[in-house]
Chains A and B, each alone.
Chain A
Amino acid sequence: MIDYAWLVPVIPFLSFFILILFRTKMQKTSGLVATIFSGLTLIYAIVIFGQLIKRQTYLAEWQWLTIGTVDISFGVLLNPLNGLMLLLVAFVSFLIHLYSIGYMDGDKRTSVFFAYLGLFTAAMLGLVMSPNLLQFYMFWELVGLGSFLLIGFYFYKNSAKKAAKKAFIMTRIGDMGLLIGLILLFWQTNSFRFADISEVILAGQMESGMITLIAILILIGAIGKSGQFPLHTWLPDAMEGPTPVSALIHAATMVAAGIYLIAVMYPLYMASNVALAIVASVGAFTALYAATIGLVQDDIKQVLAYSTISQLGYMLLAMGVLGYTAGIFHLFTHAFFKALLFLAAGAVIHAVHTQNIKQMGGLSKKMKVTSVTFLIGALAISGFPLLSGFFSKEEILAAVWANGQYGLFVIAILAAFLTSLYMFRLFFLVFEGESKKTIDKIQPTPITMKIPMIVLAFFAIFSGYLNTSWFETYLADWLASGATFLSTHHHETPLWLFFVTILLSVGGIVLAYFIYGKKRINQEDWKSSFPGVHTLLKNKYYIDEFYQLTFVKATNAIGTFFTYVEKYIIQLCMTFVKDVVQSLSKTGTKTQTGQTQTYGAVAFLGLVLIVAFYVLKGGY
């Protein structure tokens, strides 16, 4: 079976192909068909993973393009890391497909929606199975395409159009870093293959300056894709897409691809302390930065989007402090609880038809399953004891501490505290308190939407036990078996760290309870005491406005300037040339004028010249 592993991305691609071809006829059945295809993908991925456990790695390659003497291949690589990713992507994708049947019901373009979902899944699976950087880059762009199409799914909305365009452009900027990085790497190592690249690096055959440069360039690609500062602005806007898309692409899978990229290129980063320090700093800064914005947003999806940015920052931080397994572990648990949060939010939006949390409230009585699963997700992301997020977040903090990055440690702790604060602000405002009058009717949540939420809730609780120092570090051992370049310095987690984690998590929840649940603390208080801060956060630090005033303005100004160049200088030259030719032709044809004659004149002139040439050269 594993020899046909390349079929894994082909199955969802077929789903895309069939649905786009018969999109009008399959309007009703598209959800079911796509879900079956995605179920098959999941089953196949599980089978392959089962075989992978015994053999650890699998590689197959085919020749793709020959440039001179260099052969560039296309292929399938399976190892512990991407086997895990394969499973994760196929699993979440299947649940999202199932959920979307209910969520998208009644839309006029469901078949197109499911087709795009299939295209994205295919690209994402192709990405995680890539054995070389070029193929990785190609699928990296294609997942971007899937994301773009789905953000702009409601094409008639101007906001969706802008958001889709922005997502494409912002990630493309990051991609240029990755592209330059991979080309430079090729000229250093003569190969795109991950295995060859790490071999060259581990053998110490590359200058350290070059390693740092390439590592930073590749990091720029990851920053773009994973919505890290300063290329993060597209991700909150991407919430314009249907909510299942936000869960799949902009929470669980694609945005995590940046972290995955750092992981597959890890030997490169391990070879440069400067690059690692930059990775960690970008991650830590983004984690805190996005968390502060998340505190004041009123759109349920916006809060979750900033939370995603913040959590991705956490993962990046982990990668930067040599916490390879901690980062992947958090990627893994985050995929479950964040997808869960989005799906629950989607159920809320589906029921009340608004995304503004100020208009919600008291929903826990009317939406039992949704409120309970949302609570589980919120607890998990806050790092509440014994839920998945607790273990992965604690491990990241331990890695930061063990690396001696005390400044970053403080930032990480602050971010963790803010995380539980804004998550429970959300929970209390949406599910507790008084019901609002603005919402009169609540649409029931169909069973196809409830099942994925329940399944994800289960994983949000228990997936952490795959990797705890209390029982067994299955996940870390599994990953380490595929990453031989990792030194096996397994640091014991200091006991006080557990208490710190618990304190942060519970502290944030309690504070949120008093402000938004019990309303003991007036939430308007701090707004009035720090008006500047509140406005700044509310406006997301004015980064969008800054870009608008600088880059966008400058680009347009250059364009306009060139229009003038075109209009006056080039046009002038053209007129001059034209006049010269015209006057020449007039002398040449004296009696006649007209355009065809000009042509004759030019040709004639040529003939004269060639004759003159012979004469001057003396016949040879």
Chain B
Amino acid sequence: MGLLSLLVFSPIVGFIILFFIPKHDMKMLHKIALAASFIPFLFGLLVFILFKTDEIPADILKWIEFEAGEKSFVIHYELAVDGFSTILIFLTAIIMSIAILAGSFHVKKDIRMFYQLMFLLELGVLGVFASGNLFLFFIFFEITLIPMFLLLSKWGGTDREESAFHYLVYNGIGSLILLVAIAAIFVSAGSTNFDTVMQHFATNENSGLALGIAIALLLAFGIKLPIFPLHSWMVKVHVDAPIPVVIVHAGVLLKIGAYGLITFGIGFFPVAFEKLVLVLAILGLVNLLYGAYLALVQKELRAVLAYSSISHMGIILLGIAALNESGIQGAIFQAVSHGLIAALFFLLVGSLANRTNTTSLKKLSGLARLTPLLAGFLLVAALAGLGLPGMSGFVSEFMVFLGLFEQLPWIGVIGTLGLVLTVVYMLRVVMNMTFGTYRNMFGEIKDLNVYEVVPTLVLIICIIGIGVFPNIIASTIQLTIETLRLGIGG
């Protein structure tokens, strides 16, 4: 087994060990689960370091072979990473550990099974990012759906079954479209290996088939991202899923959409995407503004964050629409940055909800008085969300807009309205909760404890680290950007 296989399947360790822990020994379960979550993290770190030292890891193994007509099809089991996926893998590992730690505060029933499903989910996500061909990608993509569905329907909030069902329907349709697209690619290129597919379509780039597949990919990953008007399932998940699951969902799972659009969309069908530029830009703008305006009028904290995610995903679309180095690099940064910021927000929302038993904005006010740390961190999260310089969000937004202004300046001008609205809703939501007079509704609530502060700080350090030293990421994805740029034609 190669390193990448070890990485992808390492969550199995936690999954299995947990079987041997008694179901009711909560403390032990928490500890073991957290410890086991560091295994993928260490592998992720190793892959990251190896990638940085130019030893690009890859696993290949002949897997399935079948004949159809005169042609024989071979599907390999192949894992490979590029700069973008290396970073996403690392992000997944960090956020998973944090989500599992958060699980110990938020999940009360059937904790063992909860953790086991989380590990399965992690396996799926790591596989998605480490796949070297579309077939494998699809399988792992499907693997993420099942544990996610179960986590949602069993541990979710009041509307959990409804939400889980919506999740399934939308994502099911998404994978259906994806499957068709992959099948079409396979049939046309004779392989689903990323490089082969890329080369194949580079020589047949003007075909109608390419445009058709590109649109299918846009739809399939558009549901995942999500793109307006396919977003409602995601709002439901944000509002109803248990906190650790939302952390993973907003932090990592949504990024599969961005990963797919960039790696497969622009990567395989640059010419087709060039034709879709205006559509993408308008969709991005709609996401950005629609999400921001709705975030502004929500009465429920988690709904604000859900619409804020939609708005921030609009920025990814705008970066893709720019279709130049700056725009794409910005989109990749935004995917990573939003993952960290969303995770930070929901981590804090979880701590808040544990203390106040509500996330209704009407009831929360003046929290800075009793819980200055929580209030301070919420403010940091808001500042990160509104793209304050020195934090990751600024770098990504800046690059996207820089790229956008070269190609579609008017879209960029309208887009800045979104940046202003982001400030308005971010400050509205956080300041209404933390500033103002404290209405003594929740009794003597305590400030964050050390188990809550540490993961929060980890995320904040990552966010500020990228904001201050963006070249850490930029140098990692340099080759990816270069390849994509060559495809676009420079």
A496 within 8 A of B: no
Interface string of B62-92 (1 = CB under 8 A from A): 0000001111000000000000000000000
A68 to chain B, nearest CB (A): 3
Given contacts A562-B290, A562-B294, contact A67 B413 (CB under 8 A): no
With a CB–CB cut-off of 8 A, which chain A residues contact B180?
A: 606, 609-610, 613
Residues on the A chain within 8 Å of B475, using CB = 66
Q: Which of B153, B293, B401, B428 contacts A165 (CB 8 A)?
A: B428
CB <8 Å contact, A179 and B179: no
Among A155, A573, A603, A613, contact of B368 (Cβ-Cβ < 8 Å): A155
A403 at interface by CB-CB < 8 Å = no
- Give B450-490 interface residues, CB cut-off 8 Å to A: 470-471, 474-475, 478, 481, 485
Q: Which of A576-620 contact B (CB under 8 A)?
A: 577-578, 581, 595-596, 598-599, 602-603, 605-606, 609-610, 613-614, 617-620
**With A161-B431, A180-B416, A609-B180 as contacts: A598 and B390 at CB distance below 8 Å:** no
Q: Do the beta carbons of A559 and B297 come within 8 Å of each other?
A: yes
Which interface class (under 10, 10 to 19, 20 to 34, 35 or more) fits A?
35 or more
Task: Give the nearest-CB partner of B172 in chain A.
Answer: A602
**Cα of A66 to Cα of B475 in the assembled complex, Å:** 8
Query: Considering the chains assembled together, what is the distance between the CA atoms of A570 and B307 in angstroms?
Result: 14
From known contacts A64-B471, A562-B294, A602-B175, infer whether A574 and B166 are also in contact, taking CB-CB under 8 Å.
Answer: yes
B184 interface residue (CB < 8 Å to A)? yes
Give per-residue flags for B106-133: 1 if the beta carbon is below 8 A from chain A beta carbons, else 0: 0000000000000000000000000000
Q: How far is the CB of B319 from chain A (nearest CB, A)?
A: 12
Chain B residue, CB-CB nearest to A619: B69
Of all chain A residues, the one with the shortest Cβ separation from B437 is A156
Q: Check A156/B366 contact, CB under 8 A, given A141-B388, A183-B405.
A: yes
Of all chain B residues, which has the CB nearest A66?
A: B474
CB distance from B251 to the nearest CB of A (A): 24
- Contact, CB under 8 Å: A577 / B173: yes
- Asked whether A184 and B423 contact (CB < 8 A) given A161-B431, A574-B166, A602-B176, the answer is no
> Most chain-B CB neighbours within 10 Å: which of A64, A160, A574?
A574
Q: Is A484 an interface residue (CB 8 A)?
A: no
Q: Counting CB contacts under 8 A, is B442 at the interface? A: no
- Chain A residue nearest to B180 (CB atoms) is A609
Binding site for B on A (CB under 8 A): 63-70, 134, 137-139, 141-142, 145, 152, 155-156, 158, 160-161, 164-165, 168-169, 172-173, 176, 179-180, 183-184, 186-187, 555-556, 558-560, 562-563, 566, 569-571, 573-574, 577-578, 581, 595-596, 598-599, 602-603, 605-606, 609-610, 613-614, 617-620
A613-B209 Cα distance, complex, nearest whole Å: 14
Residues on A with beta carbons closer than 8 Å to the beta carbon of B168: 595, 598-599, 602
Q: Which of A66, A176, A563, A571 contacts B416 (CB 8 A)?
A: A176
- Chain B, range 382-429, C-beta contacts under 8 Å to A: 383, 388-390, 394-395, 398-399, 401-402, 405-406, 409, 412-413, 416, 419-421, 423-424, 427-428
* A179 with B401: CB separation less than 8 A: yes
On chain A, the residues within 8 Å of B205 by CB distance are: none
Q: Are A556 and B436 in contact, CB atoms less than 8 angstroms apart?
A: no
A173 neighbours in B (Cβ, 8 Å)? 420
**When chains A and B are docked, how far (Å) is the Cα of A574 from the Cα of B166?**
8
B296 & A183 in contact (Cβ 8 Å cutoff): no
B423:A161 contact, CB within 8 angstroms: no
A68 near B485 with CB under 8 A, answer yes
Structural contact, B142 and A555, CB atoms closer than 8 A: no
B325 touches A67 (CB 8 A): yes
Please state if A566 and B383 are interface contacts (CB–CB under 8 Å): no
Q: Check if B165 is an interface residue, CB within 8 A of chain A.
A: yes
> Which residues of chain A have C-beta atoms less than 8 A from B398's C-beta?
134
Inter-chain CA distance A180–B417, complex, in Å, is: 11
How many inter-chain residue pairs (CB < 8 Å) link A and B? 187
Report the bound CA distance from A376 to B35 in whole Å.
68
Residue in contact with B401 in the complex, picked from A169, A183, A559, CB distance below 8 Å: A183
User: 4 closest pairs, A vs B, by CB?
Assistant: A619-B69, A68-B325, A138-B389, A602-B172
Which residue of chain A lies nearest to B481 when distances are taken between CB atoms in the complex? A68
Interface residue B276 (Cβ < 8 Å from any Cβ of A): no
Residues of A within 8 A of B369 (CB): 156
**How far, in whole Å, are A570 and B290 apart by their CA atoms in the complex?**
12
> When the two chains form their complex, are residues B431 and A574 in contact, meaning their CB atoms are under 8 A apart?
no
Q: B421 — which chain A residues lie within 8 A by C-beta? A: 555
Q: Is the CB of B229 within 8 A of A573?
A: yes
A236–B183 alpha-carbon span in the complex (Å): 64
Picked from A172, A183, A595, A610, the residue with its CB within 8 Å of the CB of B402 is A183
Chain A proximity of B475: nearest CB distance (Å): 7
Distance between B358 CB and nearest chain A CB, rounded to angstroms: 20
Rounded to whole Å, the gap between the CB of B405 and the closest CB of chain A is 5
CB B331 to nearest CB in A, in angstroms, measures 12
18 contacts between A and B (CB under 8 A): A63-B471, A65-B474, A138-B394, A155-B366, A156-B437, A168-B427, A172-B423, A180-B412, A183-B402, A183-B405, A559-B293, A581-B172, A595-B164, A596-B149, A606-B179, A618-B69, A619-B71, A620-B69
Max chain B C-beta neighbours (<10 A), residue from A68, A160, A578: A68
From residue 295 to 337 of chain B, which have CB atoms closer than 8 A to chain A? 296-297, 324-326, 329
Contacting pair B389 A137 (CB below 8 A): yes
Residues of A within 8 A of B190 (CB): 620
Q: Is the CB of A141 within 8 A of B389?
A: yes
B431/A599 in contact, CB under 8 A:
no
Given A67-B474, A155-B368, A619-B71, decide whether A559 and B427 contact each other with a Cβ distance below 8 A: no
A584 to chain B, nearest CB (A): 10
Shortest distance in angstroms between B140's beta carbon and chain A's nearest beta carbon? 14
Residues of A within 8 A of B416 (CB): 176, 179-180
Q: Is A67 a contact of B420 with CB atoms below 8 Å?
A: no
User: Are A67's CB and B402's CB within 8 A?
Assistant: yes
B179 touches A610 (CB 8 A): yes
The CA of A340 and the CA of B457, in the complex, are separated in Å by 40
Tell me whether B184 and A613 are in contact (CB under 8 A). Answer: yes
Our pick among A138, A186, A577, A614 for the contact of B187 (Cβ within 8 Å) is A614
Q: A68-B329, A184-B409, A613-B180 given. 6 additional CB < 8 A pairs?
A: A66-B475, A156-B368, A176-B419, A570-B229, A598-B172, A620-B190
Q: Min CB distance, B124 to chain A, in Å? A: 14
CA distance A555 to B294 in the complex (A): 10
Bound form: Cα–Cα A68–B399 in Å = 11
Residue B3 lies at the interface, judged by CB distance under 8 Å to chain A: no
Q: Enumerate chain A residues within 8 angstroms of B184, measured Cβ to Cβ.
A: 613
A residues in contact with B153, CB < 8 Å = 595
**Which of chain A's residues have a CB closer than 8 A to the CB of B485?**
68
CB atoms of B172 and A156 under 8 A apart: no
A585 → chain B closest CB, angstroms: 9
Q: In whole angstroms, how far apart are the Cα atoms of A603 and B171 in the complex?
A: 11
Residues of A within 8 A of B428 (CB): 165
Question: Is the Cβ of B390 less than 8 Å from the Cβ of A606?
Answer: no
Cβ distance B376 to chain A, nearest Cβ, rounded Å: 9
Q: Which of B69, B187, B232 contacts A570 (CB 8 A)?
A: B232
**Assuming A66-B475, A606-B176, is B297 touching A560 (CB within 8 A)?**
yes
* A555 cross-chain contacts in B, Cβ below 8 A: 293, 296, 421, 424
Most buried by A among B161, B179, B369, B399: B179
